[in-house]
Amino acid sequence: MGLNNKYDVIVIGSGPSGFTAAIRAIQLGAKVAIVEKSLIGGTCLNCGCLPTKFLWQALKLKRKIQKSYEYGFKVNLEPIVFSNILIKKDKNIINLRKGMKAILSSYNVDIIEGVASFMDKNNLIVSNNEGNNILEIFSDRIIIASGTSPSIMKGIEFDGNRIINSTNALNLKEIPKSMLVVGGGAIGIEMATIFSGFGCHVTLAENKNCLLPNEDREVSEEIKRNLIKQGVDILISCSDALNDIDKYEKVLIVTGRMPNNDLKLERAGIKTIGKGFVETNEFCQTNVSNIYAVGDIAGRSLLAYTAQSEGAIAAENAVKMNSISINNFVIPQVVFSMPPSSSVKVSNFLRCKNVIYGKFPFTASGRAFIENERSGFVKCAVDKTNKKPLAFWIVGAHSDELINVASQIIKSDICHMSRESVFHPSFSESLFNAYEDAFDKCVELTKKNKDLKL
């Protein structure tokens, strides 16, 4: 094997975690290669966060246009051709991918196109899509960032045409007349929101007894109400959704994601757990000490931003010998319903005692009022004893950015929120108002409203 095939760090996968790991490792002085079997950017850029948000953004704009009479405008929006939106979506994604490639190139990361598999704990074979080996590469440290793929469901065959997964759905050339979405988690809600928003008759089926079963019940109910208002049929506690699939033009299965672990991990002796996720410790290190795993494949939270954090930490640890651990993450969660919904909690929230709650509806926010985005609320959990904010839930416009305000508040571990640190008039003020409501001290709610609270 030539010197050119020897690296300090090899990263498998170029999604958020792999990309971050590769750049950070090279910033720290390592010689780095990244192996990608498909498109640079991974799920997040190509068939996850970003295309979903583009379509969601398009829907949001459509609704803004349709409500623009609230500003005295007269607007005629011509019937929307969905394929035109897709053309723009693809253009955006291609440009963003070019941007990522430009960053990798500027840092001289070797980009190796192909499918990686382990020969042993330091050697990888890269093969092409036909399965022919094209390259052997060696590295002191290897970071696995191979991601996840949409789950396959027992007893039903994906054909990519009528029975589809989220990747297929994001590339549908036209809006189907009807669609069954199976799975009432974040992805199912986002897909139902988008397709229904553009005119599809969507039925959303969840086998648990509410949407987003792990989320606060009030949030889950608010999302459900908004979906129903938008025209979505919702079936909860529904275990037999697939019995009746003939009546839908498309059936979209979004019941989860499974690890991309077809890397011959056993040849390196790498341990997996659960559904086949790679087991890691607090340094993002696998049971094989020179091998790290980050992002979805490590199965921690399947979120792009924790993946990025893990990628950066694994790179530091791979190059500088386990210097950083990933304990005590404060992680916001967002679902792109319409309006979006989000939450963030202290990590030990479920063990907190003496919790009191405050709530502030966006109807009472001056800024939400003039922006004509009056739907939803902020709910806040506070430790009654020391007044520390413990959790925020937000359903409403901009909650995907507002949750980052909440996240910094939770992270900062303060026992007092003070109003002058939040601009007026802004949506973010509502976090403060919800916090004060927990003590019955919000000045922007009537006494009567307060009696009606939770």
Going by the DSSP 8-state scheme, the letter that residue 285 receives in this structure is B
The answer to whether 387 and 402 are in contact (CB under 8 A) is no
Which residues, in sequence order, are CB contacts of 73 under 8 Å at separation 6+?
A: none
Residues 174-233 that bind a second copy (CB under 8 A): none
Return all residues near 246 (Cβ < 8 A) that are at least 6 apart: none
Q: Which of 16, 150, 184, 259 binds a second copy (CB under 8 A)?
A: 16
| Ramachandran sector of residue 276 (left: φ over 0; alpha: ψ -120 to 50; beta: rest) | left
Buried b (16+ CB within 10 A) or exposed e, 321-330: ebebebeeeb
CB-nearer residue toward a second copy: 67 or 225: 67
| Range in contact with a second copy (rule: CB under 8 A) among 45-53, 141-149, 150-158, 280-288 | 45-53
- Look at residues 235, 183, 230, 180 and name the one whose alpha carbon lies nearest to residue 202: 180
User: Is 38 an interacting residue with respect to a second copy (CB under 8 A)?
Assistant: no
323 lies in the binding site for a second copy (CB under 8 A)? no
Give the nearest distance from C-beta 106 to a second copy in angstroms: 4
SS3 state at 177: coil
Say how far apart CA 261 and CA 24 lie, in whole Å: 24
Measured CA to CA, the distance from residue 357 to residue 116 in angstroms comes to 50
Query: Which of 412, 429, 411 lies closest to 420, judged by CA?
Result: 429
Site for a second copy in 73-112 (CB under 8 A): 73-78, 80-81, 84-88, 92, 95-96, 99, 102-103, 105-107
Residues 293-322 that bind a second copy (CB under 8 A): 303-306, 308-309, 312
* Amino acid letter for position 239: S
Classify burial at 155, counting beta carbons within 10 Å of its beta carbon; exposed 0-12, middle 13-18, buried 19 or more.
exposed
Out of 10, 11, 12, 23, point to the residue binding a second copy (CB under 8 A).
23
| Cα–Cα distance, 193 to 200 (Å, whole number) | 10
Footprint of a second copy on residues 238-297 (CB under 8 A)?
none
* Total residues interacting with a second copy, rule: CB under 8 A: 99
Residue 453 in contact with a second copy, rule: CB under 8 A: no
Residue closer to a second copy (CB basis): 75 or 134: 75
- For a second copy, which residue of 266, 275, 329, 454 counts as binding (CB under 8 A)? 329
Which of 11, 12, 40, 50 lies at the binding interface for a second copy (CB under 8 A)? 50
CA distance 178 to 157: 19
Q: Identify the burial level of 160 via C-beta atoms within 10 angstroms of its C-beta, where 0-12 means exposed, 13-18 middle and 19 or more buried.
A: exposed
Helix axes 217-229, 186-197, angle to 10 degrees: 20
For a second copy, give the closer residue by CB, 99 or 160: 99
Q: Which of residues 105-164 bind a second copy (CB under 8 A)?
A: 105-107
Residue (50 or 163) nearer to a second copy, CB: 50
Q: For a second copy, which residue of 31, 63, 64, 453 counts as binding (CB under 8 A)?
A: 64
Site string for a second copy, 342-371 (x = CB under 8 A): x---------------------x-xx-xxx
| Residues forming a β-bridge with 258 | 149
The nearer residue to a second copy, 79 or 131, going by C-beta atoms, is 79
Minimum distance, C-beta of residue 86 to a second copy, in the bound complex (Å): 8
User: By CB under 8 A, is residue 15 in contact with a second copy?
Assistant: no
Least Å from the CB of residue 246 to a second copy: 32
Residues between 378 and 437 with contacts to a second copy, criterion CB under 8 A: 398, 400-405, 407-409, 411-414, 418-429
